[in-house]
Amino acid sequence: MFFSVLCMATIDITGKKRTNVIETHDLFDRPNTPIHASVFWLTPQFILVGRVDVLTVIAVQELFYNEAPYRM
């Protein structure tokens, strides 16, 4: 759960930074203009989401194996 909260905080910071770039370059009324931002801003989000997914999948898979009937 801690990593999930950390992931959401990282997503919020990235969103605010992108909005700040849009405001700085006055791009709100021009949707077809490219934003001067790096794709690498998304790297921390993907790393955290990957870690959360690995931890969650392991726990869920263990739960399913423990709760499944023996004849399955």
| Cβ proximity of 43 and 10 under 8 Å | no
Does the pTM surpass 0.75? The reply is no
pLDDT score, position 51: 86
Consecutive H or E run containing 21: helix 2-24
| Cβ proximity of 51 and 6 under 8 Å | no
| Cβ proximity of 52 and 4 under 8 Å | yes
Going residue by residue through the chain, which has 72 residues, state the pLDDT in tens, using 9 for 90 and above: 787 788 889 889 988 988 888 888 888 788 788 877 788 888 888 888 888 888 888 888 999 989 888 887
Domain boundaries, the chain: 2-67
